[in-house]
Amino acid sequence: MAVLNMRNREIECKIVYYGPGRCGKTTNLEYAYKTYKKQITGDMVSINTEGDRTLFFDFLPMGLGKIKGCDVRVQLYTVPGQIKYSSTRKLVLKGVDGLVFVADSLEVRREKNMLSLKDLQMNLKEYGISVFKIPLVMQYNKRDLEGEGMPIMSIEQMDRDLNRQLKAPSFAASAVNGDGVGKTLSECLKLTLLSLQRQFQWAK
Amino acid sequence: MGINQNIIAMLKEADFYQKQGLLAEAKVKYQEVVDFLSAHSDLGNAGKIKISVLKKIKEIEKEILYVEKKVLSPYMTKDSQDLITRMFVSSDGEDPNVAILEGAKALIKFGQFERAIEELHRLLDIETLKTEAAKQILNCHLLASKANLAIDQYDRWVSAGSFDKGLLDKLKIQIQDFLKNTGIDMEFPAIFDQKDKQTITETISKSNSGGEGVEKEESSGSKRDTFFFEEEYEEYDVLASLRKKKSPDGKKR
């Protein structure tokens, strides 16, 4: 839940990157950490295993400066994608203001994408949040693998599988190269701040 | 695509999945290669390639087991633990002690039991929070598979008279239920109130000071398990102790 201090004109909101295991959530944050140095307000915290699988979460604090007279800060989180960490995902999702759903473009991960989206919907429901109402952006990651001869799904197919009903903004991406990372985050931030404005009328 | 190119393409794909950490997918792909080779056994190198791929599959299976193995209490730096106590707290910050409790509960969810216990001990003197703090301390020990430490802690609270009988009863039940659920059927020492303990202590003192005609009094409660009154507790296997085996120091527990 966003923290608003109208006296000091400060807003702090939470964006969570969700998706199946190994889809590129941490890679998104790592790229943001490397690239948007001016906006990064602290260290990136990653709690992961030896094999670099996110065990609990990644955390990256950012400051966006003054927007409409308010000092806006955002905390980016990722969740662990492995099925067995369901309760951790739910915990990390608590108080979320905006979401990026990172889908894996590999053909073999089609089902995992859909299961992960379903998992997201169920966890949000437990907090009384509708996946149709929360600010959400879809990212179709690993588009670069087509050039490496790996079988990937088309954007159209991924849209049909994951976004037919949600109709969220979607972006093709290759997080490992940084493509689409900034656009995804930027759109999610925009939607989140607009949503907070509707709720709290924070902007001057 | 020729047969050889087909095999190369499948191996390349399997190898790629393995490097990506998509172990299940890699295994499936390697198995497809094995099946393909079995169906084309007339190929020159089919046998050799098959052996090599089967080795790969075994490698992946080991890796899958390693990844799937749940880490009970994973290592986390103090900074990360501090982050958890701040980030996953829902109270509005008005009562810092409530925030400590919530932070400790968040630490428990992330398997940081030792740190959680440290935080919870700070709340044992706070009337409104001590019950929950005590329960969560025992919870930490039990979840960390250290039931003996939970029992030890419980015993220390009983000996110290830290809590009233009502709370001690609840804590005792908490431990018993947990152990029952994990298949351990145990006898727990009876709870004595301060008066009983005093009687017992006095009785033991009298009998130790000698003198004829001193009658050994027994409390109104049932027979005590001796470890209840042990002043020094050694780490011992819980199951062994519950079956009343001798501990390493030779004392019967």
SS (HEC) of chain B: CCHHHHHHHHHHHHHHHHHHCCHHHHHHHHHHHHHHHHHCCCCCCHHHHHHHHHHHHHHHHHHHHHHHCCCCCCCCCHHHHHHHHHHCCCCCCCCHHHHHHHHHHHHHHCCCHHHHHHHHHCCCCCCCCHHHHHHHHHHHHHHCCCHHHHHHHHHHHHHHCCCCHHHHHHHHHHHHHHHHHCCCCCCCCCCCCHHHHHHHHHHHHHHHCCCCCCCCCCCCCCCCCHHHHCCCCCCCCHHHHHCCCECCCCCEC
CATH class of segment(s) A3-194: alpha beta
Query: Which residues of A are less than 8 Å from B70 in CB distance?
Result: 84
Contact A76, A29 (CB under 8 A): yes
Torsion on CA atoms B27, B32, B38, B41, rounded to nearest 10: -110
The token duo for A199 is 């709720």
pTM score, two decimals?
Answer: 0.79
Is A51 within 8 Å of chain B by CB?
A: yes
Does a structural domain hold residue B187? no
Query: Which residues of A are less than 8 Å from B71 in CB distance?
Result: 49, 55
Q: What is the mean pLDDT of residues A4-9?
A: 80
pLDDT the model gives residue B230: 27
Max distance between CA atoms of chain A, in angstroms, equals: 56
Query: How many Å apart are CA B209 and CA B212, to the nearest integer?
Result: 10
Q: Which chain A residue shows the shortest CA-CA distance from B21?
A: A22
Higher-confidence residue: A49 or A147?
A147
Cross-strand pairs, A60: A76
pLDDT the model gives residue B195: 56
Q: Which chain B residue shows the shortest CA-CA distance from A85?
A: B70
Q: Compute the nearest-CA separation of A179 from chain B (Å).
A: 19
pLDDT confidence of B93, banded at 50, 70, 90?
Answer: low
Is A143 within 8 Å of chain B by CB?
A: no
Q: Compute the nearest-CA separation of A83 from chain B (Å).
A: 10
Map out the domains of chain A as residue ranges: 3-194
Query: Which residues of B are less than 8 Å from A108 in CB distance?
Result: 17, 22, 25, 28
Q: What is the pLDDT of residues B111-154, one digit of tens each?
A: 899 999 999 999 999 999 999 999 999 999 988 888 888 888 99
Q: In terms of Cα–Cα distance, which of A28, A6, A20, A1 is closest to A183?
A: A28
3-state secondary structure at position A26: helix
Query: How many Å apart are CA A27 and CA B210, to the nearest integer?
Result: 76
Does a structural domain hold residue B24? yes
Provide the chain B residues 5-44 that lie in CB contact (below 8 A) with chain A: 9, 12-13, 16-17, 20-22, 25, 28
**Domain total for chain B?**
1
pLDDT the model gives residue B210: 43
Query: How many Å apart are CA A22 and CA A76, to the nearest integer?
Result: 18
Question: Whole domain around residue B38: which residue ranges?
Answer: 3-68
Least confident of B61-65, B141-145, B248-252: B248-252
Query: How many Å apart are CA A72 and CA B129, to the nearest integer?
Result: 35
Tell me, what's the ipTM? 0.87
Q: Compute the nearest-CA separation of A150 from chain B (Å).
A: 7
Mark yes or no for CB contact B71/A49 under 8 Å: yes
pLDDT the model gives residue B92: 64
State how far the alpha carbon of B251 is from the alpha carbons of A101, B227, B232, B241, in Å. Answer: 60, 10, 12, 11
Contact A88, A121 (CB under 8 A): no
3-state secondary structure at position A174: strand
Residues in CB range of B224: below 8 A, 6 or more apart: B189, B190, B200
Determine phi and psi for A203, rounding to 5 degrees: -75, 145
Does a structural domain hold residue B148? no
Query: How many Å apart are CA A59 and CA B206, to the nearest integer?
Result: 63
- A·B CB contacts under 8 A: 53
Is A3 within 8 Å of chain B by CB?
A: no
Q: Residue for token digits 């979401």? A: A99
Q: In terms of Cα–Cα distance, which of A21, A16, A192 is closest to A113?
A: A21
Contact A100, A17 (CB under 8 A): yes
Mark yes or no for CB contact A45/B79 under 8 Å: yes
Least confident of A4-8, A100-104, B6-10, B23-27: A4-8
Closest residue to B67, CB basis, from A53, A109, A150: A53
Is B76 within 8 Å of chain A by CB?
A: yes
**Helix B147-160 with B165-181: angle, nearest 10 deg:** 170
Query: Which residues of B are less than 8 Å from A141 in CB distance?
Result: none
Closest residue to B88, CB basis, from A45, A52, A91: A91
Contact B150, B142 (CB under 8 A): yes
Mark yes or no for CB contact B16/A148 under 8 Å: yes
Chain-centroid distance, C-alpha B207: 41
Quick one: DSSP state of residue A135? -
pLDDT the model gives residue B212: 35
Closest residue to A56, CB basis, from B68, B70, B110: B110
Closest residue to A22, CB basis, from B9, B20, B68: B20
Quick one: DSSP state of residue A60? E
Query: How many Å apart are CA A112 and CA A81, to the nearest integer?
Result: 10
Is B106 within 8 Å of chain A by CB?
A: yes
The token duo for A194 is 């607009």
